[in-house]
Amino acid sequence: MNLQVIGCSHHQSSVATREQLAFTEQQIKPFLDNYYSKFPNSEVVLLSTCNRTEFYTAANKPNSVPGKSELIEFIAEQRGIAATDINSEIFIHQDRQAVEHLFSVASSLDSMVVGEAQILSQVKQAYKLAVETNQTAALIHRVFQSAIRVARRISNETEIHTNRVSVPSVAIGVLAKQIFERLDNKKILILGAGEMAEETLRYAIQEGGKDFTIINRSIENAKQLAMKFDGRVGDWDELEKELATADLVISATGATKAVVNSDLFDRVEEIRKQKPIFILDLAVPRDFEHSISDRLNVYLYTLDDLQKECERNRQSRQSHYPKAQKIINHEADLFFNEIQRRSSGSTIAQLKRQADNAKQLELDRLMNRLEGVSEKQKSEIEQSFNRLVNKILHPPLKSLQTESPQVSGGLLEALKKLFQLGD
């Protein structure tokens, strides 16, 4: 089996590179069509999310999948960029390493937020699009179906997915739920339009949030974020008015000092009339003066508060890593054993036919020369030939069945060469 994954992710690639290589769903199908025009003897799946873009390629025959440089050149051409701009930030995994990587990705062990639920559905969608483009992609079928099964096993047999670990996920999924039973009837105000604000907003929407307003000193950045989630853009000059009506505030600006001081909040508090407000101050330095947290019915959490909660969740989750990794290793063994069994089956059958043909030719030649041999003697001679052939074939065939997939794969190729067997 010739399987590899080439791509970039949050582990080793810059945001700029990930943005250059990101594909929308509408762009994936044309890319797959162009890929098969260029590399008709291989199979491919393109997985593109906000934190990774990965190209899984596979083929039955050696040298049928494009090499790293060749594929990077093709990808760069498709994206209208220079290959030299992205080459240093692209990783490659092959064969078992590639399979284990896919298993980890599908199980969310490789995610920025370990335990996130979205990645499995994204893997399924990428697999679905690949199958629709090339319905004969047998190797892709096997490895992605296995990856989906592994992800389900890890979800069912470990607690990797039970405790949230990222700052935004803990802020919304844990702390916000302690204050509000539901978010679909709450007014959400976002101060800032950067990555932290966007990620936290995503979690708020996943938890049911619908009514949200974005305020940012750069109105264009606010509009871009609002367009992604169909939200409303507010005016920075009306910050007091927006705070006075908000239930949940997500603040992550790049300001060098507090944007909401005690005096400003005094005016806001007078309008709110002690209505509860939940504030997530995710900025460094802080956007809200610390003294505001002492106000009645004000629930203010800073990054320091959230990091402590994240660490508790992270420690709890890490105890389940070994079990999840053990599942991945076991499933990878099963996968390659099955691949090896399938690939060696036809070669073994071909070797046996070749040996039987040679045996039968020599047996017929011998029988034609012998005179006065009884049927019983002929049967004994034939059985002796059969036993001899079986004894000669038994050691190499046993080695193919008992050695590891890595070793038996080399033995299989050696067997084909030694006995001049075809593919």
Tell me which H or E stretch contains 360.
Answer: helix 321-369
How many Å apart are CA 283 and CA 250, to the nearest integer? 10
For helices 95-106 and 138-157, give the axis angle rounded to 10 degrees: 50
The DSSP code for 235 is: P
Catalytic-labelled residue, pool 10, 27, 29, 50? 50
Work out the number of other CB atoms within 10 angstroms of the CB of residue 168: 25
Asked whether the beta carbons of 226 and 197 are under 8 A apart, the reply is no
Separation in Å, CA 301 to CA 32, 195, 249, 255, 290: 46, 19, 10, 18, 10
How many Å apart are CA 89 and CA 87, to the nearest integer? 6
Distance of CA 269 to the CA centre of its chain: 46
How many Å apart are CA 133 and CA 231, to the nearest integer? 35
- In the three-class reduction of DSSP (H, G, I as helix; E, B as strand; rest coil), residue 62 is classed as coil
How many Å apart are CA 284 and CA 281, to the nearest integer? 9
Q: Is 205 exposed, middle or buried (0-12, 13-18, 19+ CB in 10 A)?
A: middle
Length of the chain: 423
Tokens for 69?
A: 């440089």
Residue 310 among the catalytic residues: no
How many Å apart are CA 140 and CA 131, to the nearest integer? 8
How many Å apart are CA 295 and CA 288, to the nearest integer? 12
Residues 6+ apart with CB under 8 A from 67: none
Rounded to a whole number of angstroms, the CA Rg of the chain reads 31
What 3 state SS string does 92-160 have? Answer: EEEHHHHHHHHHHHHCCCCCCCCCCCHHHHHHHHHHHHHHHHCCCCHHHHHHHHHHHHHHHHHHHHCCC
The catalytic residues are 50
